[in-house]
Amino acid sequence: MNINRMYCAAAALACVGATSAHADELTLCWAAWDPANALVELSKEFEAQSGHKMRFEFVPWPNFADRMLNELNSGGQLCDLMIGDSQWIGGSAENGHYVKLNDFFDKEGISMDDFIPATVTGYSEWPKNTPNYWALPAFGDVVGWTYRKDWFERPDLQAEFQTKHGRALDVPKTLEELKDIAQFFQGRDIDGTTVYGAAIYTERGSEGITMGVTNALYNFGFEYENPDKPYDLEGFVNSEGAVAGLEFYKALYDCCTPPGSSNWYMGEDIDAYKSGQVALQMNFAFIWPGVEADPKVGGGKSGYFPNPAGPGGHFAQLGGQGISVVSYSSKQDAALAYIKWFAQPEIQARWTAMGGASALRSVVEDPGFASSHPYAQAFLDSMAIVKDFWAEPSYAELLLAMQARVHNYVIAGSGTAKEALDGLVKDWVEIFEDEGKL
């Protein structure tokens, strides 16, 4: 641990408050969800130690990107601190929305080596895989799966599944095994209620179906570009493996999801699972504490596992965010003081305990972390296999193109998987041509 940070932990008022000669009111902008409420409580410590006051602007997830990207693109001064999505980092860096933090990190002894490497790449770096930092990893998240452990453990269902598939009804190791399980539960009667196989991401309006389908695409061989030639898309985005992955996701939707689930994202999946409609739920790991605490599905009734492997790899879609100082803020010194406070190991440990998800290695690599909660090991295993969507400045256009192409095929049944991905290549090539990158 850095000596300066050890001293700050003991004398936080002097260390945090010294950054600014007077008390400021800071506004932190983020999405409206349970972790944000936990951050409000945690930040009371910063207020007490520094004298600064914290305000919060939280926007529901479906509107978060539009609202906050408009704020940044207009040079607005609403936000002093922004916990922005990982995909925003390229545009926010190149367009001057975020303050570059390298000098600040060096001055304060904050090392990116202390954080989970995938979160540094995903939340902080631009260009990717270079030591140029625009955010501190703030909330580690990843797509994983929740399952009705109590249903899986029923002797009659165990016996029936064993007879049918020649293996135990247990956590799936592959996507095909997951599909078998979803089909097994689809339309089944459980305690007098008809249940379904899986709640998956299908939402079209923001990012939902992209954040879902990538968990199949990656594991069948999809690549965003040629690893040896940036922005070379043909044969990578629409490879044979990528086509098979998209076909798999459509097959999973067609066979094994509840009726009326054609536009579902995080909230709808949570509701379906907690109400006992489905055996499996795809969702970001941030929901796991709420599942475990739920009286209907928690307390040992649920289990948690990483996205299963496919024939072309083993990956999971990265979620989560970094915290940045907005360059248009007139209170940058106080905002930096908040990041300095937030980066302390003691604060990061409390952040996780209160419902956050620290990406600090000393927290997640603590010997007791894996056994601290029923979902902790699944979180660690999931964060070890993450892969992310484009973080280019044109991220929003790239995302909208993928949302439309994938939704039209998977949900609306328009055309073939090959046609959908060929069309996506065309869309993305045009976007990069307009940017002068091709």
293 lies in the same domain as 239? yes
- Return the CATH number at 93: 3.40.190.10
Domain-located, residue 101: yes
62-71, 92-101, 231-240: the lowest-pLDDT one: 62-71
Mean pLDDT over residues 193-211, rounded? 97
Question: Are residues 170 and 293 both part of a single domain?
Answer: yes
Which of 298, 317, 336 corresponds to the end of one domain? 317
Domain assignment of residue 361, yes or no: yes
Q: Are 279 and 181 in contact (CB under 8 A)?
A: yes
**Domain membership flag for residue 400:** no
Q: Could you give the count of Cα atoms lying within 13 Å of 183 in the half-sphere of its Cβ?
A: 13
Question: pLDDT (tens digit, 9 = 90+) per residue, 254-302?
Answer: 999 999 999 999 999 999 999 999 999 999 999 999 999 999 999 999 9
Is pLDDT of 10 > 70?
A: no
What residue ranges in 326-410 does DSSP mark as E strands?
A: 386-387
DSSP assignment of 342-376, as one string?
HTSHHHHHHHHHTT----BHHHHTSTTTTTTSTTH
**For residue 179, what pLDDT is reported?**
98
Q: Which amino acid is at 393?
A: P
What residue spans of 231-331 are helical by DSSP H? 240-256, 266-274, 288-293
Do 187 and 271 lie in a common domain?
yes
- Which pLDDT belongs to residue 19? 42
- Residue 432 confidence (pLDDT) above 90: yes
Task: Judge if 229 and 152 occupy the same domain.
Answer: yes
**End position of a domain, from candidates 342, 363, 387:** 387
Picking from 317, 344, 369, the residue at the C-terminal end of a domain is 317
Residue 66 shares a structural domain with residue 104: yes
Does 393 reside within a domain? no
* Inside any domain, residue 43: yes
Tabulate helix, strand, coil % of the chain (nearest 5).
50, 20, 35
In this predicted structure, what is the pLDDT of residue 21?
54
- Are residues 211 and 249 located together in one domain of the fold? yes
- Rounded Cα distance, 194 and 353, in Å: 37
Q: What confidence category does residue 2 fall into, taking pLDDT thresholds of 50, 70 and 90?
A: very low
3 state SS of 188: strand
Question: Quick one: 172 and 111 in the same domain?
Answer: no
Please tell me the total count of domains within the chain. 2
Q: What tokens appear for 141 in the block?
A: 């998240």
Residue 380, domain member (yes or no): yes
Do 114 and 39 share a structural domain? yes
pLDDT tens-place string over residues 306-349: 999 999 999 999 999 999 999 999 999 999 999 999 999 999 99
Alpha carbon distances (Å) from 332 to 84, 273, 438? 17, 42, 37
Give CA–CA dist 5/362, Å, rounded. 14
Question: Is residue 87 situated within a structural domain?
Answer: yes
pLDDT at 322: 98
Which token pair is 93? 């860096």
Domain that holds residue 243: 143-317
Q: Provide, rounded to the nearest whole percent, the portion of the chain with pLDDT above 70.
A: 95
Residue 78 lies in a domain: yes
